[in-house]
Structure 1
Amino acid sequence: MWRKIKNILFYHWPIHLINIVLLLLPDCMPVNKVRGTLMKPFFKRCGRNLQVCSNVYFTHIENISVGDNVFIGRNSWIGGYGEVIISDNVMIGPGVLIASANHKYTNETIRFGGYEQSTIQIGKEVWVGGNTSILPGVNIINNTVVAAGSVVNKSNLTPYSLIGGVPAKELKKSI
Structure 2
Amino acid sequence: MTEREKMLSGILYSPTDPELMKERHKVRLLFHKFNHLSEEHLEERQKILYQIFENTGENLFVEPPFHCDYGSNIKVGNNVFMNFNCCILDVAEVTIGNNCMFAPHVQIYTATHPLEFKARNSGKELAKPITIGNNVWIGGNATICPGVTLGNNVVVAAGAVVTRSFPDNVVIGGNPAKIIKTIDNH
The answer, yes or no, to whether TM exceeds 0.5 is yes
Q: Structure 1 residue 108 and structure 2 residue 118: aligned?
A: yes
- The Cα shift of 1:8 comes to 4.1
List alignment gaps of at least 5 residues for structure 2: 1-16
- Map 1:55-134; keep pairs closer than 5 Å: 55-106=65-116, 108=118, 110-134=120-144
Q: How many residues get paired? A: 168
Closer, same or farther: CA 114–173 of 1 in aligned 2, 3 Å? same
User: Secondary structure, in 3 states, of the residue corresponding to 2:126?
Assistant: strand
CA–CA distance in structure 2, aligned partners of residues 105 and 173 of structure 1: 34
CA–CA distance in structure 2, aligned partners of residues 9 and 168 of structure 1: 34
Aligned to 1:6: 22
**Ranges of 4+ aligned residues in structure 1 off by more than 3 Å:** none
Aligned to 2:51: 41
Q: Conserved in 2, the CA contact under 8 Å of 1:129 and 1:146?
A: yes
CA–CA distance in structure 1, aligned partners of residues 165 and 173 of structure 2: 12
Aligned to 1:172: 181
- The Cα shift of 1:106 comes to 4.3
TM-score, normalised to structure 2's length? 0.82
- Map 1:18-57; keep pairs closer than 5 Å: 18-20=34-36, 22=37, 24-25=38-39, 31=42, 35-57=45-67
- The Cα shift of 1:11 comes to 2.1
Identity %: 35
RMSD across aligned positions (CA): 2.1
Closer, same or farther: CA 153–101 of 1 in aligned 2, 3 Å? same
CA–CA distance in structure 2, aligned partners of residues 92 and 56 of structure 1: 12
Compare 142-151 and 7-16 and name the one that shifted more: 7-16
